[in-house]
Structure 1
Amino acid sequence: MTHEELIALLEKRFNKTSHTRTDKSFDDIKEKLLQSDKLDTLIQMEETKGEVDFVWEDGDTLVFADCALQSPKGRVKYCYDREALEGRKKYPPENDIISVANNMGIELCDEQLYRKLQEVAGPFDTKTSSWIKTPDDVRSLGGALFGDYRYGRVFIYHNGADSYYSSRAFRGFVKV
């Protein structure tokens, strides 16, 4: 995907839904995008089936996030972090979400941002789930957090950090 194709796709999504989240025109957003170094990161989000979209403004910063209805299919079957991956003796997954997110240049949603994303642009993960950034006190005990949306509300759960599933990936965001 080229930068031009990404911009055209983002404009289409903006015109469909995102325009309700800002008083900026897409031309304003496009100008800021073209001045940023985040286009390749947004392309990676798109290529891994994240369906990236503009979700909100944070002061002068524009926030783009994975808005695929279900957890991004190009990022499934990963455990939580490198420690969990290396500790998995039997049937290790291909990778871990922390390494993949860092390589892509995206930030993971923590519980608060996951809930905000669900409120502003969701519902998401109605049949899947997404790993979220896990607090150190939970991770130090071997766990990791994930969320989903069921029964009209967001649920946050825990699992062993070394677990992985075909229906769990991760959502991230990028600030421009």
Structure 2
Amino acid sequence: MTKDTNKKELSLEQGEELLRALKTRFEKNMHRHEGIEWADVQAKLETNIEKLWSLNEMERTGGEPDVVGHDKSEDEYIFYDCSAESPKGRRSVCYDREGLESRKKHKPENNAIDMAGAMGIELLTEEQYRALQKLENVDMKTSSWVQTPSDIRELGGALFCDFRYGHVFVYHNSASSYYGARGFRGSLRV
């Protein structure tokens, strides 16, 4: 039997292991999701197999996903990558495919937009990034690409953020640039 690599679901063991890791992180970081009960989150996750797969991809690449909110109108729990630094498994990437293809030399293996799409997540917006920094300071040594407005992107640029000197900074670079200390953080609604 051949394995379907496009199948976005986990084995029973993988699912149980991920749920244990998510529950442990949830319980250790209650400041991220005050008023939210783990049992409610778990019930949602158990009925959204493809979203559980996406969370596993976030976990596998070093994002340490955790619940940061609950959209009551949509009844969706919001997960962000909460790792202290930009996820290790998602660094050294250009912003998007156009940026990657425009490089003449030393192309990285991938780009943030395509990786996020393959994982079933979205890059954080600047607003989401700032909200995460209000929960706790991240990216004190690294930086993370964030969703870039189309007018900036059309001119060849892309935005990234980090936390230095007690402040969130938003910077720009060409979308084709990449650095060992720059990756991206994602969000997922379940």
> What is the TM-score normalised by the length of structure 1?
0.96
Structure 1 residue 74: Cα displacement = 0.2
Deviations 1:53-80 (A, max 9, x none): 1111122210011010000000011001
Once the two structures are TM-superposed, the CA of residue 108 in structure 1 deviates from its matched residue by 0.8
Residue in 2 that maps onto 1:117: 132
Q: Which runs of 4+ in 1 moved over 3 A?
A: none
The superposition leaves residues 106-156 of structure 1 with CA deviations (integer Å, 9 ceiling, x where unpaired) of 011111111111112x21100000000000000011100000011111110
SS of the residue 2:63 aligns to: coil
Aligned to 1:2: 14
**1:51 aligned residue:** 64
Matched residues in 1 for 2:185 and 2:87: separation? 7
Structure 1 partner of 2:142:
128
Deviation by residue 1:85-109 (Cα, 9 ceiling, x = unmatched): 1110011111111100000000111
CA distance in 2, matches of 1:11, 1:21: 12
Give unpaired runs (5+ residues) of structure 1: none
Residue identity in the other structure for 1:50:
G
SS at match of 1:156: strand
What is the one-letter code of the residue matched to 2:85? Answer: Q
Residue 20 of structure 1 and its aligned partner are, at CA, apart by 5.7
- Structure 2 CA distance for partners of 1:34 and 1:19, relative to 1, 3 Å: farther
Residue in structure 1 matching 2:24, options 2, 12, 19: 12
Percent identical pairs in the alignment equals: 51
